[in-house]
Amino acid sequence: MFKEPASAEKPWTAIGNFTGTFDGDRHTISGLYLNSSSIGGVDRGLGLFTSVDQGGTVENLTVKGEIDGTNAGVVVGGIVGKNNGGTISNCTSI
């Protein structure tokens, strides 16, 4: 299924406080757009995942897109906004 890329009018809502395992299987997520409205009230970062907590793993993934961190007031990263003890491996953000 084709999904329209995210934009300033329809930004991606980041996945919050992740503790599971996400294996991207060497796939690419493209068209990601994040801004300050992408973050929920309890989230701590701005990225595909707002945070990856202890026990969480994100691996084998490329993310292509744009992040507008203006007025976000949080840490920013393409894959993960904030790593809180999780494991991020073999990932690229362009």
- d(C-alpha 72, C-alpha 91), whole Å: 23
Q: Identify the band that residue 83 occupies on the pLDDT scale cut at 50, 70 and 90.
A: very high
For residue 41, give both structure tokens. 């009230």
Query: Average pLDDT for residues 39-62, to the nearest whole number?
Result: 85
Q: Angle at the Cα of 18 (from 22 to 57), degrees rounded to 5?
A: 40
What pLDDT is attached to residue 1? Answer: 46
Closest CA to 26 of 1, 58, 62: 62
pLDDT one-digit tens code per residue, 5-40: 777 777 878 888 899 999 999 999 998 888 877 776
What phi and psi values does residue 37 have, to the nearest 5 degrees? -80, -5
Asked if 74 and 81 touch (Cβ cutoff 8 Å), the reply is yes
